[in-house]
A and B are shown apart, each in its own frame.
Chain A
């Protein structure tokens, strides 16, 4: 693990280097790409808690990513049009203040992950995979058929939501906001993993029956992990809407769930910075292959299959000689 720590320092270095490079050479596109990587990284960090550390194979995290995205879009849409969001039982207006939007996103994604978790965690194994997938699809179809917020065409918000004292339309400012949330999600994960609660959910991944036998209510532990995981991913969705100034049913599509899972696996499961490395690799692949061929996803699929069949510990795993030695 020493090598992984060394590698993590390099990752931090790159997180600062790339935007600096962007500013010096006046390439805002680099900063925007880096922002995208960081935001997708947050979504991955969220899923990693459930998938990597607790072994809950959720193929439905697009639901939370999309909920965060749509809440942000809807609030901002109402603020822009000066309409009431709903008038019963309280009169509630939309908002374009990130500081107001974030708590709402956190609350709503936590609520949804609680409900979905409560129902899905009754099952395990393949059933769990398919049920999380099905719940995400349910929201996907809802977003398509509900006409008020653009339906299939999606919802544009024209301006990024605002943050006190920062111009969020400036790529660097928005990058800093996203980077803050990324570091915060890493911090939360780190604290969780090393807490007694973290020990219990990591133990569940190894052997749930044994954890039960020492008197821990594993259902509650799993539900809590699932809620935290979904909430972090929801927050990433909120930032993603701001990044694109647009939200559409695509964020709820099951390909999004698959991609978030791919970030986690490409980077290396149960490694703090794994999802960021995975997302960076994914975006880099999209940018380089995408410029040569329209069918870049063909090559992505091929690379993924090779990674899964032959390099199971992910990119960070390749650098971790100790681990490779053990296998």
Chain B
């Protein structure tokens, strides 16, 4: 019984981790290439989810909704990059933090204005409804498996994009030496806009896919944004590989910790105490993990020191 539960929770953790990866990959890419801390990244998660909910309500197609989440977040990303973000690249971190914090207020209230304060819901398509057996006696939700599959597919896609294509070469060159590649004739501001749009659309896709399990509401991006920060601090800022490892680590630790820590503590304590202490510590577990990793390696697992 517990083994089955453990396996199920492990899959849940991986599923959560892959979505964290979509968020943190964009965040870390934007930081690596443009040197920008983007607190408003969670807003693209929200925008993606709302675009999907809007298109799903109009067309009743989940697949069009997923496309809409990519497109909606990318369009918002391009517009915001050109109007505001572009002016922040040369500024110090403090200005970036404040301006993107202000952007969160602006975008959250803007979306609330358009869609109202009530949560919207996205339906999972019939093909992905229900469960599927894995191995002998473990059954698992099809939709969550689909999320894991999509997560790894996108990780693979990003890997190919970064290592095998011309755009990827430019992005890597941008990470290494900004001035040099603009001197070599690469249109750097166009490259920045593209990178920002890629990051935003990945966040938007994650928002739509999670929106179908939970609900689509204003402010949904903030909890996951902060987890994404934890992920890139653990993985090393600027490293996509670090983001992947960090996401899975955080996703699994968080999910497993919340479920099993209270159970574990019941061995030593009264059950009612164990539940409250266990769930409190469980919710802090990833931050403790982060603190430990930073004590050992202050620049993260894959970061350049």
Interface residues in chain A, defined as those with a beta carbon under 8 Å from any beta carbon in chain B: 51, 57, 59, 119, 122-123, 125-127, 129-131, 133-135, 137-138, 141-142, 144-148, 254, 258, 261-262, 265, 295-298, 300-302, 304-305, 308-309, 312
Contact = CB atoms under 8 A, between A and B. Distances in A.
Interface stretch (B53-61, B161-169, B286-294): B286-294
Contact of B105 (A261, A300, A308): A300
B93 A57 contact: yes
A254 to B, nearest CB: 7
B190 interface: no
A125 B109 CA distance: 30
Contact of A122 (B105, B112, B230, B295): B295
B103 A123 contact: no
A297 B283 contact: no
Contacts of B125: none
Given A145-B280, A145-B282, A301-B106, 5 more contacts: A119-B294, A127-B237, A134-B229, A304-B99, A308-B98
B99 A305 contact: yes
Nearest to B275: A147
A130 B93 CA distance: 11
Given A119-B295, A122-B294, A304-B102, A134 B226 contact: yes
B284 A141 contact: yes
A193 to B, nearest CB: 19
Contacts of A254: 222, 226
B305 to A, nearest CB: 11
Interface string B128-166: 000000000000000000000000000000000000000
Interface of B: 31, 37, 84, 87, 93-95, 97-99, 101-110, 112-113, 222, 226, 229-230, 232-233, 237, 276, 279-280, 282-284, 287-288, 290-291, 294-295, 298-300
Contacts of B226: 133-134, 137, 254
A84 B89 CA distance: 54
B106 A305 contact: yes
18 contacts: A57-B94, A119-B294, A134-B229, A134-B230, A137-B226, A142-B280, A142-B283, A261-B98, A261-B101, A297-B105, A297-B106, A297-B109, A298-B105, A298-B106, A301-B103, A304-B101, A305-B99, A309-B87
A244 B101 CA distance: 26
